[in-house]
Amino acid sequence: MLHPLSTGSPLTPALPAKRRDLDSAAGPLSLYSDQPEGTGSGLPPLLLVHSVNAAASAAEIAPLFAHYSQQRAVYALELPGFGFSDRSDRPYTPRLMTDALHAAIAIIQAEQGGTAVDVLAVSLAGEFAARAKCEAPHSIRRLALVSPTGFRGAKLRYGRAGSTLGLPWLYRLFTWNGWRQGIFNTLTRPGVVRYFLQRTWGGQTIDEALWRYCVHTARQPGASNAPFYFVSAFLFSADINTLYETLDGPVWVSMATRGDFTDYQGRHTVAGRANWQFQAIEGGALPYFEDLPGFASRLDPFWI
């Protein structure tokens, strides 16, 4: 068997759970699922959505998947361009990602009696989840955002509906055939992946299993397609603050205290609303890797 870090090594599942491929308007999608034996907690199903970066996958939410699968039906979607989902060379946009969420939620509802689902999304995926909630408000019951984008700095985003921050010239620069693969190979070298995870954690200690899987998934065919749209800002919604302010269901936000994701100046537009909860949780942008019981003790009351 090839070592997981070897070039050409086939992708292994990100989670020790049932995985299936779904046909959808967003292309083939990868969806993991598990649930406890018996009746569980009685809570509705939970959909977990990983972040977006050069080496993203469902491995980013592994501790949460393991925790909640002991309590209720839990699902984990791999967004278009990542994991076992379609990584073809096509435009990657908030519209595509939101359509993927709609498709996953429809499948979950079909399997779970039509009930509205709870959703937890990490970082940039929170923007897609907010859009999905605004577009289909009765499909999502409660929304948890871990280190979400869209609140950084004083400049908020109230752009044209559906528009993005995309920079075509930057995308063209990154994807010129003369250096496209070389740039991506550099961004996903093991040492570089470790560096970015350390910035995410806000310290030298990271989750080594996640690091290995990040390197592994970034070496798969088509792995560069979605990340180049990400680094060129096409996946950031120019109207995200309008969407956040439109949300009328319960929203819970975890704010990191270390690393690159600690600026939430823009939260003042919604922080005073009864349906929004902001909690500063000690740790980096993925605090449940550092202290899962502590994180869960803060989040679990929100689901009830």
Q: How many residues in total does the chain contain?
A: 304
How many folded domains does the chain comprise? 1
- Count of helices and strands (H, E) across the chain: 11, 8
What's phi and psi for 172, nearest 5 deg? -60, -40
Tokens of 53: 């970066």
Alpha-carbon distance of 161 to 241, in angstroms, equals: 11
144 is a domain residue: yes
Structural domain of 95: 18-303
Residue 28: CB atoms within 10 Å: 14
- Report yes or no: 7 and 221 within 8 Å, Cβ to Cβ: no
13 is a domain residue: no
6 is a domain residue: no
Q: With 0-12 CB in 10 A as exposed, 13-18 as middle and 19+ as buried, what is 113?
A: exposed
Instruction: State the pLDDT at residue 4.
Output: 43
4 is a domain residue: no
Alpha-carbon distance of 253 to 33, in angstroms, equals: 24
- The residues near 89 (Cβ < 8 Å, ≥ 6 apart) are 222, 225
Alpha-carbon distance of 125 to 118, in angstroms, equals: 14
- Report yes or no: 41 and 104 within 8 Å, Cβ to Cβ: no
Tokens of 138: 């009765």
Q: What is the pLDDT along the chain (304 residues), one digit of tens a residue?
A: 233 444 558 999 999 999 999 999 999 999 999 999 876 678 999 999 999 999 999 999 999 999 999 999 999 999 999 999 999 999 999 999 999 999 999 999 999 999 999 999 999 999 999 999 999 999 999 999 999 999 998 889 999 999 999 999 999 999 998 899 999 999 999 999 999 999 999 999 999 999 999 999 999 999 999 999 999 999 999 999 999 999 999 999 999 999 999 999 999 999 999 999 999 999 999 999 999 999 999 999 999 9
Q: What CATH number did the domain enclosing 171 receive?
A: 3.40.50.1820
231 is a domain residue: yes
Alpha-carbon distance of 136 to 155, in angstroms, equals: 28
- Which residue type is seen at 16? P
36 is a domain residue: yes
This prediction's pTM? 0.95
> Which of 110, 132, 107, 135 shows the shortest CA–CA distance to 119?
132
52 is a domain residue: yes
87 is a domain residue: yes
DSSP-derived letter for residue 131 is H
- What SS3 class is residue 158? coil
State the DSSP string of 160-201. Answer: STT-B---HHHHHHHT-TTTHHHHHHHHTSHHHHHHHHHHHH
